[in-house]
Each structure stands twice: as structure tokens, then as C-alpha cells.
Amino acid sequence: MLSLSTATGRVTTKVDVYAFGVILMELITGRKALDNTMPDDRFHLVTWFRQILINENISNAIDQILNPDEETMESIYKVVELAGHCTTRDPYQRPDMGHAVNILSTLVEQWKPTCHEEEHAYSTFHGKEETYGIDQHMSFSLTLER
């Protein structure tokens, strides 16, 4: 990512958009942006991801942990498309973050846990109800200290 800002000598919001696209790719694939344990053709996540998109083989790139059903796959494809746009080589072709937020906000309702999933996720920690290990009644700063 450094090369993007050093090419022009300026850091712009488009560099941030590129970085956000890389983060989306990391979330989708479960891989690091740069991984020296991979063969040369898979070392750089963005380059490898672009090849996957060209070959229309994204289902093989998705992190196995996600274990997506058909509905979730539709959402993942939207995130994949957004990641591709965010990491486009020409900074002027990248969307602004407002566009990225609009795309992702449409997926929020689909990814909210159902009542059954929420009940399953509750646990007891020192006598307090928690969701996914986070005490929903505790302030953010106290949560970080814990």
C-alpha cells in the first residue's frame, strides 16, 4: 500500500479506499495482504484476488470458516465486487467511502442474528448477560480494559 502513496508523493482518501478494499479481501479469504508462506503467484493478496475474479472462481477463495449458505453467498459476492472496485489500479476509478458504506449498509439487516442465534450466543460472565463475550451494558472503555 505504501507504493500507492509514494508514486505521487501524496496520501489521499483513495489510498484509504484501496486499504479498505484490501481489508475486505482479508475478511473474505481469511488471508493476509502479504503472505510469504504462499507461492509467488499467491503472495500478494490483491493480485491473486484479481486473478480469482477474472477466472470467476471466487467460491474457491472464500474462507472455509465462513461456511456460507446461498443467501450469504449473495452478500459475499456484493462484498467481493466492492473489494474489487476499491482496489482498482486507477485511484480515480475507486469509489468514495460513502458509496462503500451504502453498499455494506444494505447487507446489515441480512447479517443480523435471529432471536434463536442471539439466545444461543448469550453467556454468563460474573453474573452479567453478554453477547459474543461482550457485556452490552458495559461502557466501551471498560470493555477495552477487560
> Sorting pLDDT into bands at 50, 70 and 90, what band is 46?
very high
Range of the domain at 131: 114-146
Total domains present in the chain: 2
Please give the full DSSP string across the chain, using - where no structure is assigned.
-HHHHHHHT---HHHHHHHHHHHHHHHHH---SB-TTS-HHHHBHHHHHHHHHHTT-GGGTS-GGG---HHHHHHHHHHHHHHHHHT-SSGGGSPPHHHHHHHHHHHHHHHSPPHHHHHHHEEEETTEEEETTB-TTS-HHHHHH-
pTM over 0.85? The answer is no
The pLDDT, as a whole number, for residue 1 is: 45
* 46 and 100 part of one domain: yes
In this model, does residue 2 exceed pLDDT 50? no
Q: What is the CATH classification number for the domain harbouring 20?
A: 1.10.510.10
The predicted structure's pLDDT at residue 139: 56
pLDDT of 29: 92
Over residues 52-85, the pLDDT tens digits come to 888 878 888 888 888 888 888 888 999 999 999 9
Does 48 lie in the same domain as 14? yes
